[in-house]
Amino acid sequence: MLKDFFGKKVKVINLGIASFAEDLRKQGVETVHTDWRPPAGGNKKIQALLDKVASWQSKVKSAKGAR
């Protein structure tokens, strides 16, 4: 049993696939589901482009703050 595996009552935070949380709940495990997805759906090219925007904006905010 999952409970015995850790030797004490398990509380679970589930990230991503909702059915995992449902399965745990059916087994009586206290579970909180978080609707999390990898940024940009896991698309590395898009993530790299978003990182460039974030880096630029960080510099913009620093420059404006220094004024």
Per CB under 8 A, residues contacting other proteins are: 37, 39-41, 43, 45-46, 49-53, 55-57, 60-61, 63-64
In the complex with other proteins, the residue whose CB is nearer, 3 or 52, is: 52
Distance of closest approach, residue 39 Cβ to other proteins, in angstroms = 5
Contact predicate 50/39, CB 8 Å: yes
Of the pair 1, 53, the CB lying nearest other proteins is at 53
- Kindly report the CA angle at 41 between 30 and 25, in degrees rounded to 5? 15
Q: Output Rg (C-alpha) for the chain, integer angstroms.
A: 20
